[in-house]
Amino acid sequence: MRSIVPAAAALAAVLALALAAGATAQSPDQKVVLTVGLTQDLDSPNVTVGELVSSFELWNLQYPTLTDLAADDLSTAPGLAESWSSDDSGRVWTYTLREGLEWSDGTPITAEEVAYTINRSREEEWLNHYSTVQNLTAEATDERTLVVTSSVDDPKLPGLSVYIVPKHVYEEIEASEIGKYAALDGVSAGPFSLKEWKKGQFWRMEANDSYWRGRVAIDEVVFRVFRNADAMVAALRSGELDAAHNVPAAAFPSLETAEGIEAVEGEQGGFDYLVLNSYAGQPPRDETKFDAPHPVLLDLRVRQAIAHAIDKETLVERVLSGLGTPGTTISPSPSPAWMPELSEEETYEFDLEQANQILDDAGYTDTNGNGVREHEGKDIVLRYAIRTESEYSKPYAEFITGWLKDIGIDTTFSSYDDGQLIEVAGKGAFDAYVWGWTPFVDPDPMLSYMKCDQISVDASDFSNFWNDTGLCDPEYDALYAEQNTELDPDRREEIVHEMLTRWYTNAAYVVLATSPDLQAYRTDRFSGWVRQPAEIGPVLFSNSSPSYWSLEPLASSGDGDGGLSTAAIAAIAIAGAGALALVGWVVLRRRSVEERE
Amino acid sequence: MTALAWGRRKRALAQTWAEYRRDREGMTGLLVLGGFVAVALLAPLLADDAQLSAVNTTGNEVWAPPGEHPPLGTDSLGRPIYDQLVYGSQVSLLVGIAATLIAIVIGTVVGVSAGFFGGWVDAVLNRLSEWFLVIPFIPLAIVLAAILGPSLRNIIFVIGVTSWPVTARLIRAQVLTIKQRLYVERSRALGASSLHVMGRHVLPNVAPLVIANATLTVPVAILSETVLSFLGLSDPLRVSWGSMLEDAFSAGALGREAWWWYLPPGLCVIAVVLAFTLVGRALEAILDPRLRAGRAG
Amino acid sequence: MSVRFVVGKVLGAFATLAFVLVFNFFLFRVVESNPVATLYRGRNLTDAQRDELTRQFGLDGSKLEQFVRYVEQTLQLNLGRSYATNRPVIEEIWAAAPQTIALVGVATVISMVIGILMGISAGWRRGTTQDRVLTSTSMATWSTPDFWLGMILLTVFAVQLGLFPTGGIEDPTSGATGFAKLLDQAWHMALPCLTLAIAYVGEFALVMRSSILDVMREDYLTLARAKGLRDAQVRDRHAVRNALLPSTALIAINFGFVLSGAIAVETVFSWPGLGLLTTEALRGPDLPMLQGLFLVFSASVIFFNLVADLLYPLLDPRVRYS
């Protein structure tokens, strides 16, 4: 026995040492590191494949754009191009690039490089480029001069903010292989370049010395992915993080009042929606590879009944803790002017009785009295997908499926992370789920996503789509083409209003709420946080993320933080208590042995 | 014979109960257990199942501490913790008992057959139970849920199917002892069939041990259910203590210090598991001849 | 220990492993009559679709052909590719395994030492207040869901007090290397490790206590006392030594199971080991990954069972030649 006690004591001592040392060994390195917490991992660093907000932030930091978006009002501002002019037709624009532009590996950025991205992305219909470049042809007339010609009148020009990729890297990759490219090359012309990505844990980016605005004041930015939003908030409070994106609404009020932390409710037109899979055979898919929606969802009356069964006020209040506003149509831009006013008869008011009436009239009745309506003799059961990467997804599901039950529609659940849900949506293997969009400045990209040609039909790449409803409305497409070439802003706005009203009536999307980006940052580490757009927008994960190149470290703050030394003290205290307990135990044991003898 | 045997068994039962009553820990466990069983059975009287659905609780305050929404406060969607806790007891007890019944049935059939027939039957069954002993059942449950979809039925099935080898081994050993005794008794000599012997003599004799062992299987089943629900593998439409913990975890109850949400389900699991364990140990101490001998000594 | 004994045990372990392979194969293919229907449950597929999917999943040919192919691939450590990352499953498992082994290894050693000490002192003073306190503590920790305990430790020590990190295995911003990095990882491991140690300690204590009680009935203890040895000497020289035997076997078997036992705790602490890999694979679901993980978890149980079988006779002369 006596041989075990010292062993245990030694073990405790070693542990304590490890703890204490671990706590103090956080060597105060000299690098200025910005650490950002978020709950969504990258889906892919490959700009032709990724579609998540997290990936867009990566590209905002790594890839330059020909024109930039002004930090305050998102208007067109100089980027790689320092100036531009157009001919009389307004269809031919000539851009002059800055002098001495370079990629982080030293390769010069010429007009030829920019033309390469524009032309190739148009030819290959790259996911995140195509809606902007579909009508454009680019040509480099010399090292610094780029001529862009549009085949139609294009209201978006001269703004041209697609991500420019390094030609010398991408020309090695065949069109057929580009979707599989891992894109970890780290060749950057933005403020940072990607150095490391540990899936599910973090990705790390280092400052790019040849950034055209000049090297930024931060040496490194680390994005840490949290599976538990509470842990993320705790990490922000303790100083492990400098900023956090997607702060849970439950924790937001406490951060608003916390000292040394600034909480930001960032509006940039983002919204949450319920999608109903409405794919009715157009455009044609290879049926052996794709899945089909529940047939009742192809009946407009059923979708309308569902739209009537959703109480958006309650969702905002209960799910979003009041941080948001009930939704109507999709919001295609941070500017609310693009959204139409819906008349009363156009609006699907929350009314369960009316919803039930619509379904009764449509002939979906519950004949066997089990509370679920039937279609062709079988209970109507919808496949509802839950997103594991959003803490709102389950509460939304709880309410929505509760109301669906009230109108006699049953549901089954499956859970997916965002990367997987894209594939599931692309295959059409769902009936309903809730997700969100964050629009760009010009309404065009958001509007283009709902076109017929954005429906997933490519069986070799199920993530190659935007229109997750599967609903094809040719008249909507016609209106899209019209606004796409309408140079009169008022007329264009009118067309957009008509499109959005049409899309609302189709009820394949039930917009639940506008949802602000809830963020928070520590005020003791960096100064120069920029909200985009000014005053109302978020500080990170915005359209062009200007904060990163504006931030300056505060002189007084070292990189280490107070929690560490406390941890060392705690470790020593715990170990000490353990040792004391052991000693006490030995003493007591001795005494009891003596008593016995 | 029959009347005589029944009388003997009745007396044995009475004696066991008398012995059990003296076991303070066992009685505590039994009392706690009785309480939970009563709550589960009387759930419709004690709580309102309409309150389990968020669409019906929009009148309630969200995140209300117990003081504001007695007796136990509400969760992030305004659903009262109390109603969830009461209905959650049904799932935990159902899973625990149903899974254990499956384990008992399989274990008894395998154990009795192996012990009674001996020879190659014994060898094959022995090997089989050895195989099932090495299957890690949490991963198995995860795999089955992934293939068949999350449901309560799967959880019960998995726990039942992986818990029988212990029962089978215990019973086999008992059957072997009883068989020795039976050979000198007359029923065998009179040419009674194997089935008859098994039904009349073997089963009643191993029954107490099976029960004691089963009581110890239930808590393992309940703990497993909690873990699996926490991982999101239980029926999403039924509230259980594990699913309450999962909800609390993902809704941010920890950061919000909503202790009234995440403490009660955990404490209930501990109480039920502890109660079953206490009862099981007390029964084992009385019924297992090996432990009895130890007691006397 | 005879060579025959060792060979027999090893062969037995391989037989069990073969069973697990068969089981794993059928689990993913014959759980329901049609595997494609199982994977695409509730969806309407035409015959052509079904044939196509069957080919894709390598489910064509007879069951026997499929099985032979599966065994061949598995023997070459080819467990297929993950649906989620498109990387070989075996690579992902190798990358995650060290973290889990470190976590459960340290936790098991700590809980073993403390549990055994608790069990000895409880058993030796059977029926005293000390026994009652130690035994009820053991039973309470055994009854506690480990992930729940983890949640509470996380709340108290990381969220409220800010003494420990909130999750993960290292601080990606520290840039520490070598020993400093190791220490950083140890610091991150403290809370999950403490959680598992508390969760395991009860079982070790209870097993050790009952082993001690068994040993106390043996004649040689009475003999030792009769020889005039002091109480502590009897306990340390005779009782503990003999009681450790059954515990050792149990501990070895336990090692196999703890690998899979940390799944929920790893999830709570975002510890990037096999457990987190399992819950991530579950979200897909990433079936090849789950199948691979299940095989690895089962194999680890078999391996440690074998270790227990081989250790036991080494430690206990009485079963040496059995």
Does A152 share its domain with A278? no
Minimal C-alpha gap between C180 and chain B (Å): 30
Is C31 part of the contact surface with chain B (CB cutoff 8 Å)? yes
Q: Given A514, A538, A561, which residue is the final one in a domain?
A: A514
**Interface list for A 178-237 with B (CB within 8 A):** 228-230, 233-234
User: What does the pLDDT average to over B54-61?
Assistant: 86
Does A332 share its domain with A400? yes
Does A497 share its domain with A531? no
| Contacts of B among chains (3+ CB pairs under 8 A) | A, C
Domain of A317, CATH number, reads: 3.10.105.10
From the list B143, B231, B278, which residue is nearest C264 (CB)?
Answer: B231
Contact (Cβ atoms closer than 8 angstroms) between residue A225 and residue C176: no
Q: Write down all domains in chain C, each with its CATH number in brackets.
A: 3-75 (no CATH), 91-315 (1.10.3720.10)
Q: Helix axis angle, B259-287 relative to B241-251, nearest 10°?
A: 150
Identify the domain containing residue B171 by its residue range. 24-44+64-296
Does A335 share its domain with A378? yes
- Whether B57 is covered by a domain: the verdict is no
- Whether A535 is covered by a domain: the verdict is yes
- Whether B151 is covered by a domain: the verdict is yes
Does A452 share its domain with A382? yes
Does A337 share its domain with A482? yes
pLDDT tens for each residue of C100-146: 989 988 998 898 889 989 998 888 888 888 888 898 889 899 899 98
Q: Quick one: which of A47, A194, A195 has its CA closest to A121?
A: A47
Is A557 part of the contact surface with chain C (CB cutoff 8 Å)? no
Task: Mark yes or no for CB contact B53/A398 under 8 Å.
Answer: yes
pLDDT of residue B40: 94
B·C CB contacts under 8 A = 128
Contacts of A391 in chain B (CB under 8 A): 250-252
Query: What is d(CA A55, CA A40) in angstroms, rounded to the nearest whole number?
Result: 9
Candidates B63, B74, B250, partner chain A, best to mutate (most A CBs within 10 A): B250
Query: What is d(CA A583, CA C89) in angstroms, rounded to the nearest whole number?
Result: 49
Identify the domain containing residue A355 by its residue range. 271-514
pLDDT of residue B260: 92
Contacts of B232 in chain A (CB under 8 A): 415
Contacts of A220 in chain C (CB under 8 A): 173
- Whether A244 is covered by a domain: the verdict is yes
Is B250 part of the contact surface with chain A (CB cutoff 8 Å)? yes
**Does pLDDT of B191 surpass 60?**
no
pLDDT tens for each residue of A24-81: 444 445 789 999 999 888 888 899 888 788 999 999 999 999 999 888 888 889 999 9
pLDDT of residue C308: 80
- Whether B187 is covered by a domain: the verdict is yes
- Whether A211 is covered by a domain: the verdict is yes
Q: How would you write the pLDDT of chain A (597 residues) with one tens digit per residue?
A: 444 444 455 555 555 555 555 544 444 457 899 999 998 888 888 998 887 889 999 999 999 999 998 888 888 899 999 999 998 888 899 999 999 899 999 999 999 999 999 999 999 888 889 888 988 999 999 999 999 999 888 888 888 889 999 999 999 988 878 877 888 899 999 999 999 988 778 899 999 999 999 999 999 999 998 877 878 888 898 888 999 998 988 888 889 988 899 999 988 888 999 999 999 988 888 888 888 999 999 999 999 999 999 999 999 998 988 888 999 999 888 888 899 988 888 899 999 999 999 999 999 999 988 999 999 989 999 999 988 778 788 889 999 999 999 999 999 888 777 777 888 898 899 999 999 998 888 898 899 999 999 999 888 778 778 899 999 999 999 999 999 888 888 999 999 999 999 999 999 999 999 888 899 999 999 999 999 888 888 999 988 889 999 999 986 544 444 344 444 555 555 555 565 555 555 544 544 444 444
pLDDT of residue C186: 85
Q: Given A452, A479, A514, which residue is the final one in a domain?
A: A514
- DSSP 8-state symbol, A108: B
Does A383 share its domain with A403? yes
- Whether A316 is covered by a domain: the verdict is yes
Count of domains in chain A? 3
Rounded to 5°, the CA angle A310-A394-A431 comes to 60
Q: Given A487, A514, A541, which residue is the final one in a domain?
A: A514
Residue A105 CB neighbour total at 10 angstroms:
15
- Whether B112 is covered by a domain: the verdict is yes
Tell me the residue ranges of DSSP E strands in A344-482: 374-375, 378-379, 381-387, 410-416, 432-437
Sign of CA dihedral A190, A194, A199, A201: negative
- Whether B130 is covered by a domain: the verdict is yes
Task: Mark yes or no for CB contact A1/C120 under 8 Å.
Answer: yes
pLDDT band at residue B272 using 50, 70 and 90 as cut-offs: very high
Structure tokens belonging to residue C152: 């509470």
C118-133 in b/e burial notation, b at 16+ Cβ within 10 A?
A: bbbbbbbeeeeebbee
Task: Mark yes or no for CB contact B55/A251 under 8 Å.
Answer: no
Domain of B252, CATH number, reads: 1.10.3720.10
**Alpha-carbon dihedral of residues B20, B24, B27, B29, nearest 10 degrees?**
-120
Q: Which regions in chain C score pLDDT beneath 50?
A: 31-35, 37-45, 320-322
C295 Cβ neighbours under 8 A, 6+ residues apart: C20, C21, C24, C74, C79
pLDDT of residue A375: 92
Does A318 share its domain with A424? yes
- Whether A185 is covered by a domain: the verdict is no
What ipTM does this complex have? 0.84
Contacts of B147 in chain A (CB under 8 A): none
Does A287 share its domain with A258? no
Structure tokens belonging to residue A115: 């033309």
Sign of CA dihedral A275, A278, A281, A287: positive
Query: What is d(CA C154, CA C164) in angstroms, rounded to the nearest whole number?
Result: 8
Domain of A577, CATH number, reads: 3.40.190.10
Task: Mark yes or no for CB contact C261/B245 under 8 Å.
Answer: no
- DSSP 8-state symbol, B49: G
**Does pLDDT of B296 surpass 70?**
no
Q: Quick one: which of A377, A227, A215, A235 has its CA closest to A296?
A: A377
pLDDT of residue A561: 43
Does A30 share its domain with A83? no
Contact (Cβ atoms closer than 8 angstroms) between residue C53 and residue C40: yes
Q: What are phi and psi of A145, to 5 degrees?
A: -120, 125
Count of domains in chain B? 1
Q: Quick one: which of A548, A545, A531, A522 has its CA closest to A215?
A: A548
Does A194 share its domain with A100? no
**Interface list for B 33-92 with C (CB within 8 A):** none
A·B CB contacts under 8 A = 62
Does A531 share its domain with A557? yes
User: What does the pLDDT average to over B106-114?
Assistant: 87
Residue A403 CB neighbour total at 10 angstroms:
22
pLDDT of residue C59: 61
Task: Mark yes or no for CB contact C283/A227 under 8 Å.
Answer: no
pLDDT of residue A117: 94
Query: What is d(CA C290, CA C28) in angstroms, rounded to the nearest whole number?
Result: 10
pLDDT tens for each residue of B128-158: 888 887 778 788 878 877 777 677 887 888 8
